Structure 1
Amino acid sequence: MSRMDDFEAFIAIVEHGSLTTAAHRLNRSLQSVSRSLAALEQSVGVELIHRTTRRSTPSEVGAAFFNRIKPAVDDINDARLQAINQRSEPAGVLRIGAPVLFGPNVLMPVIAEYMRTFPRVEVDLQLSDGFADLGAEGLDLAIRIGDLPDSNLKAKRLGALRRVVFGAPSYFARCDRPAHPFQLSEHSCIIRTANERPGEWTFQIDGKPRTVKVAGAFRSNLMTSVYAAAIHGLGLGFSPLWQITHLVDDGLVELVLTEFEPAPVPIHALWQEGRSSSAKVRAFLDLLASRLELKSL
């Protein structure tokens, strides 16, 4: 038994005037309560309870001891109950890291449902296309797109994301649609200069990944400019499908070379060891896995 159990046994004896009744209220055996009282009296060196065959009453020292420890034990039990409730019911601030475009476009519907379901949780969403340091940035979890580097973080795979070639109807009205990646040399391609290897697009050709060099008259460091250029018919773009789904749905761009798409890029939720025991993190991971719609992306 712990010292806390000894304190609780002593308090119950004083409150109920009987070791037997105290044992019943604590759902413990009479022998167990008696041992707790004996251990407590031995530790303080004085008799705390006067025992008779009919009643157990506190000694003068025992009454003073009771008055000092009762509020403290109540506070400890309240704190323990609060901690248990916070573990079972999500509460507090959930800090999430996510890619700049993925957060607002794909993640927000899940966050909105999460906050409606668990109104005691606040969400702090930090957007960055870099691989965030969860510990340094104080994040509870992060969404990462791409192959994961070796780390001590826990990971849950959420799916994989397609990469596609696209162009505007006005472009295809002027130029034939490419039937094979090697035909891209005959097309104007829009280059994102911030890529690690700009002007190189990856495809799956004859069952193997192949890199094809492309070129064009327009280039930009931001994907938003690439999309705008494609919409205005300046050439073909290459992008994650989830970033342009709304453009496809609205008929502003059309996909080509879909049979040569490279392997989808994995997407994971990452968190630090032990964080998943937090109710707010555990609940968000469960909802994310069930609600995140990636099958068509």
Structure 2
Amino acid sequence: MSRIDDFEAFIAIVEHGSLTAAARRTNRSLQSISRSLATLEEAVGVELVHRTTRRSAPSEAGAAFFRRIKPAIDEINEATLKAANQRSEPSGVLRVGAPVLFGPDFLVPVIAGYMRTHPRVEVDLRLSDEFADLGAEALDLAVRIGDLPDSSLRAKRLGALRRVVFGAPSYFAERGRPSHPFELGKHSCIVRTVDERPGEWMFQIDGKPRTVKVAGAFRSNLMTPIYAAAIHGLGLGYSPLWQIKHLVDDGRVELVLTEFEPVPVPIHALWQEGRSSSAKVRAFLDMLASRLDLRNL
């Protein structure tokens, strides 16, 4: 077994908290993982991992060792994958998951360019706003908006998306424009009833995240009727900018309180570690990073 395998065993132990978990993650036997750790500790001359019956944790020397070798091993693996991918033309079916509204307008143009560049690849795009279980749904890759839960998936940050308050020119002509989030209590606001906390909008006030309670006579469980209601002057809406950018560009709604926008929401591409060696996945990740245009969103 190579020294690289010993390094990867040690990294897996530190990341997953036990030799048993590391064995599962690397598809190796517990004895093999234990042997790699012992070999590595003998080579460096110090104990790298404190073992107990339930958990393994890096020693002080082990933690410092981990911080140094982890980027190097990642770089070696990345270089190996790129070299291998250069020998293989992407082919087969690429299964991609994405949010319902985001996929058609933003992902499909990238997919079109990808399929023209790699004509041997077919793409199966599956749209859902639920957080995808890539293994259960047999997805090669998923694009997800929002903070990521802890998982074993690999992730590539693609950018971040603004959340904005908007209203129709007719509404502002009749009710005026709020100049501060705390003034929203005097305005009719359109609430999305299925939010985790309906009627609470997030802002950045004095450099800190703050929630402001809002209410209004019209509410809905879906965003499309909320957009329609805002266009017809029924109140102010709160939404990701990318979902209403076309309405802003057409002048049908206008943004307010932009100086109080909350921290933008991250957007990532997610894939399983074992699938990162696939030429079709790697090629699509590269194209996503270069062609997905999230500017002004």
Tell whether the structures are fold-level matches, with TM greater than 0.5: yes
Q: Which residue of 2 aligns with 1:229?
A: 229
Using the alignment, how far apart are the partners of 1:223 and 1:177 within structure 2?
22
Per mean C-alpha deviation after superposition, the further-off stretch among 274-283 and 135-144 is 274-283
Matches within 5 A, 1:41-190: 88-190=88-190
Deviation at 1:274, TM superposition (A): 2.1
- The answer on whether the counterparts of 1:87 and 1:277 sit within 8 Å (CA) in structure 2 is no
Task: Give per-residue Cα distances to partners, 1:172-224, cap 9 Å, x unaligned.
Answer: 11011000000000000000011110000000000000000000000000001
**For residue 209 of structure 1, what is the aligned residue in structure 2?**
209
Do the aligned partners of 1:193 and 1:220 also contact (CA within 8 Å) in 2? yes
Structure 1 counterpart SS, 2:143? strand
CA distance in 2: counterparts of 1:87 and 1:230, whole angstroms:
53
Which residue of the partner structure matches residue 271 of structure 2?
Answer: 271
Going from structure 1 to structure 2, the CA distance change for 1:148 and 1:208 (only over 3 Å counts) comes to same
Amino acid at match of 2:105: N
- 1:133 shift after superposition: 0.2
Q: Aligned partners of 1:187, 1:232: CA distance in 2, in Å?
A: 15
* Separation in 2, partners of 1:115, 1:233: 42
Instruction: Say if 2:200 is the partner of 1:194.
Output: no
Give the 3 Å change call, closer, same or farther, for CA 213–178 of structure 1 in structure 2.
same
In 2: Cα distance, 1:115 partner to 1:195 partner: 36
Query: In 1, are the aligned partners of 2:85 and 2:278 still within 8 Å (CA)?
Result: no
Q: In the alignment, residue 101 of structure 1 is paired with which amino acid? A: L
5+ residue gaps, structure 2, are 1-83
Aligned-residue offset at 1:264: 0.3
CA distance in 2, matches of 1:106, 1:190: 26
Amino acid at match of 1:113: G
Runs (5+) with no aligned partner, structure 1: 1-83
Residues 87, 278 of structure 1: 8 Å contact kept: no
Q: TM-score scaled by structure 1?
A: 0.71
- Are 1:252 and 2:252 counterparts? yes
1:85 to partner: Cα distance: 8.6
**Which whole-Å CA distance do the structure 2 matches of 1:152 and 1:87 have between them?**
28
Larger Rg: 1 or 2?
Answer: 1
1:158: Cα distance to partner? 0.4
Identity %, equivalent residues = 84
Q: Which amino acid aligns with 1:150?
A: D
Q: Which residue of 1 aligns with 2:242?
A: 242
CA RMSD of aligned residues (A): 1.2
Q: Match for residue 41 of structure 1?
A: none
SS class of match (2:178): coil
Correspondence for 1:50:
none
Partners of 1:217 and 1:203 in 2: CA distance: 22
What CA deviation, in whole Å up to 9, does each residue of 1:18-50 have, x standing for no partner? Answer: xxxxxxxxxxxxxxxxxxxxxxxxxxxxxxxxx
In the alignment, the residues of structure 1 paired with residue 296 and residue 108 of structure 2 have an alpha-carbon distance, to the nearest angstrom, of 18
CA drift of 1:108 comes to 1.1
